[in-house]
């Protein structure tokens, strides 16, 4: 089972100063910062997924790449641009979530293939249109008209896509620069997904990406995979788009799922209310220490004269000082750290978040970062569980990816 991590230009600075909370002078993000596969060893995923919508933008607006980054990606190719290690695969897609509200995808087949071939991807997924709805017993005639149209559009574009991809591959002399076409299957039920797979196989696809399954419950995904397996041709493999269900991966593999992609483990580091720092056996809540000059709520309170800026800075620094002294075994007790965290959080006037401070005690008592052998935890120690700015939060996300990768290695999958 291969794990692909979707790129969203998430990087960290290897020279960031955590004590001063500042970057090194002369730092150039595009040149100096690290992606997850550069920040930890071994790389925490088998491949990188890059969406055209992230690079070039879509109907929602510009992407996350600067004009200079776009040019460099097209010039150097995905492997050189991301400094991918030998053997790491690259997979391109269109980023269908970015145009989900449109009647049709905003890209043409030739535009997408230009993106895949010029950026030298190993594989590229055909243009699809996400169906957000699931009625397991709905026939073709009973399904919502919009769902039927989106499936029809996806299949029509997939047929045009593989024909043009094969034509370009025949003209490409260097085998390493050929792009494996991956067909995108959409559906609203086990039968509709299976029919999409049947049609994609007839077109010649040997690898098929199953889209639109993110909202489905695990048993619903399994029901679809069972039905799909009944129509699967010999040698055809499946990719799950946006799915991370580690506990179910062994069962998914029974139905010829060989790869998946997801940002879930990474995003939980800073998007989840509780499960921020992952371990092999569970997860911990990260300890919030807001930056006085970077927290919108605190800045508003200071500007309104409701909180003293000097008092807030003093409380912030005291929290960080005690956290580091506690981690360094310098005689600071857990209750002292907790008292400082309560005092600082009280300044913000949010009773809900103040009560949440009590949940930090387990993180402090267990010190999970000490049991982790990843490069980031070994180097940064307690900074890894401090919820504060992107440099710490993204590092924690990278750590979570290493935990996911280790779990995948332990599963008896082929």
Active-site annotation, residues:
93, 261
Q: Where are the beta strands (DSSP E) in 241-376?
A: 257-261, 277-279, 282-284, 287-288
CB atoms within 10 A of CB 262: 22
Count Cα neighbours of 161 within 13 Å in the Cβ-side half-sphere: 32
Is 364 in contact with 315 (CB distance < 8 Å)? no
Query: Tokens standing for 19?
Result: 């004590």
> What whole-number distance in Å separates Cα of residue 155 and Cα of residue 200?
7
Q: Which long-range contacts (CB under 8 A, 24 or more apart) does 71-80 make?
A: 72/30, 73/119, 74/118, 74/119, 77/118, 77/119, 77/120, 78/48, 78/50, 78/119, 78/120, 78/121, 79/120
> What whole-number distance in Å separates Cα of residue 242 and Cα of residue 212?
8
CA distances from 367 to 39, 272, 284, 353 (A): 22, 20, 10, 21
Q: Return the percent helix, strand and coil in the chain, to nearest 5.
A: 50, 15, 35
Phi, psi for 352 (deg, rounded to 5): -65, -45
Beta bridge pairs of residue 288: 387
Residue pointed to by tokens 């009647």: 103
DSSP 23: P
Helix (H, G, I), strand (E, B) or coil at 61: strand
Query: Tokens standing for 293?
Result: 């000059």
CB atoms within 10 A of CB 5: 26
Query: Tokens standing for 75?
Result: 């010039």
Exposure b/e, 310-342, CB count within 10 A at least 16 = b: eebeebbebbbebbbebbeeeebeeeebbebbe
């Amino acid at each position: 089972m291969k794990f692909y991590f979707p790129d969203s230009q998430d990087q960290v600075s290897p020279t960031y100063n955590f004590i001063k909370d500042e970057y090194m002078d002369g730092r150039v993000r595009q040149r100096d910062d690290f992606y997850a596969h550069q920040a930890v060893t071994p790389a925490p995923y088998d491949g990188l997924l890059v969406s055209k919508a992230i690079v070039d933008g879509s109907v929602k607006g510009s992407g996350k790449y600067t004009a200079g980054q776009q040019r460099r990606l097209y010039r150097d190719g995905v492997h050189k641009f991301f400094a991918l290690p030998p053997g790491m695969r690259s997979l391109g897609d269109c980023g269908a979530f970015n145009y989900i509200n449109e009647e049709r995808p905003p890209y043409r087949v030739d535009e997408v293939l230009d993106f895949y071939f010029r950026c030298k991807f190993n594989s590229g997924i055909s243009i699809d249109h996400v169906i957000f709805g699931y009625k397991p017993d709905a026939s073709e005639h009973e399904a919502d008209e919009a769902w039927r149209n989106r499936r029809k559009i996806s299949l029509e574009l997939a047929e045009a896509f593989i024909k043009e991809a094969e034509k370009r591959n025949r003209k490409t002399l260097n085998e390493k620069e050929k792009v494996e076409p991956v067909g995108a299957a959409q559906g609203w039920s086990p039968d509709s997904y299976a029919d999409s797979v049947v049609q994609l196989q007839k077109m010649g696809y040997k690898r098929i990406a199953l889209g639109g399954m993110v909202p489905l419950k695990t048993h619903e995904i399994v029901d679809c995979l069972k039905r799909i397996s009944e129509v699967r041709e010999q040698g055809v493999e499946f990719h799950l788009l946006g799915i991370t269900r580690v506990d179910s991966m062994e069962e998914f593999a029974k139905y010829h799922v060989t790869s998946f992609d997801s940002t879930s483990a990474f995003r939980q580091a800073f998007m989840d209310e509780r499960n921020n720092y992952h371990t092999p056996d569970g997860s911990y809540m990260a300890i919030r220490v807001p930056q006085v000059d970077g927290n919108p709520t605190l800045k508003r309170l200071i500007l309104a004269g409701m909180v003293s800026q000097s008092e807030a800075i003093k409380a912030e620094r005291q929290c960080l000082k005690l956290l580091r002294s506690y981690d360094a075994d310098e005689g600071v007790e857990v209750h002292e750290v907790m008292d400082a965290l309560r005092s600082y959080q009280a300044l913000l006037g949010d009773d809900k978040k103040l009560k949440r401070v009590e949940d930090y005690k387990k993180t402090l008592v267990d010190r999970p970062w000490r049991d982790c052998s990843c490069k980031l935890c070994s180097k940064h120690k307690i900074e890894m569980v401090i919820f504060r700015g992107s440099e710490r939060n993204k590092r924690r996300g990278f750590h979570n990816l290493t935990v996911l990768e280790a779990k995948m290695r332990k599963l008896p999958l082929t």
